[in-house]
Amino acid sequence: MFCSYTEPQPAISAFREASFGHGQFEVVNASYAKWSWHRNQDDESVQADSVSITNLASNPACNRLEI
């Protein structure tokens, strides 16, 4: 059983899920990527979480040089 993994939950851990699965990292283009977590539930891949990642170098507001 996963009791020793889920309890006690340390302060640095926001969420814990005792399940198996895989992560998927997709590079869409030079400015954008997506990471998603898929848990295996009943032999099916179910997306449980995702995050979008934006390259700040592609944002003109982040490339202004102010002196």
User: Does residue 55 carry a pLDDT above 50?
Assistant: yes
Asked whether the whole model's pTM tops 0.85, one would answer no
Among 25, 37, 15, 29, residue whose Cα is nearest residue 58: 29
**Confidence (pLDDT) at 6:** 61
**Confidence (pLDDT) at 1:** 44
User: Does residue 52 carry a pLDDT above 90?
Assistant: yes
**Confidence (pLDDT) at 66:** 66
What digits encode the pLDDT tens for the residues 17-50? 777 889 999 999 988 999 999 988 777 888 888 9
**Confidence (pLDDT) at 4:** 60
